[in-house]
Structure 1
Amino acid sequence: MLKDWLRLSGKKSKCVTDVELIFPLVCGYKIEVQRLKVTIKDRVLRLPVDQKKKKKKKKKKKKKKKKKKKKKKKGRRRRRKRGMRRGEKEEKKKKKKEEEEEEEEEEEKEDEEEKEKEEEESVAFLPRS
């Protein structure tokens, strides 16, 4: 019914204006206009309103920036530093070993001295013949 009327009025696009709504109004139909589609809804007593909807602008999603991975440094200076650090560790180990050896030597000397004193004392208590 409405399509025929649009054809008669010589409208190529199905964009309906207020003046053109008079025909369906007389018939008592509700019209819904969406973009290029025109649909006739069920009969309504109240006056139909042009329901052209405004196009909503699509919001662009922001892309998340990827975090850059830090590159491992492979330089001469870094290697030298590492070597120095390693050298320091080795020096500390050597010092510890030397200290332990010195302590052991001191303990051995003390043990020997104690043994000698005990021997001298034991000899002193023996009866003279």
Structure 2
Amino acid sequence: GYSEFGARILGVRGYQAGVVTPHAAALALLADPAAATANLRQLAERYPVYGDFGFYDAVDPETGQVAYNYLALDQSMILIAVANHLRNGVIQRYFAADPIIQRVLPFLGTERFFD
């Protein structure tokens, strides 16, 4: 399911277990483009999650309830993931080429989230 991590006090209401968000599928383009694309298509075919300005925030597949909000953060992640995929990693290369990022890149691999 889709949920915010590490900032419970900042969450407005949160989502129930099982809720999914289209931007997560878009981010999976890096790992498995075919599966990510199929997932986005299935979401759009099964639920009214795509509107005039792109994908809405989230959907509960069990109930079909859609969060009819456009979040700038979600839209930007989708845009960047698609651009990165279509241009063969252009965003990653640009990011990794930055001198500041090069200095901290070794530390990013040591970050642990779900211990």
TM-score by length of 1: 0.18
TM-score by length of 2: 0.20
Which is higher, the Rg of structure 1 or of structure 2? Answer: 1
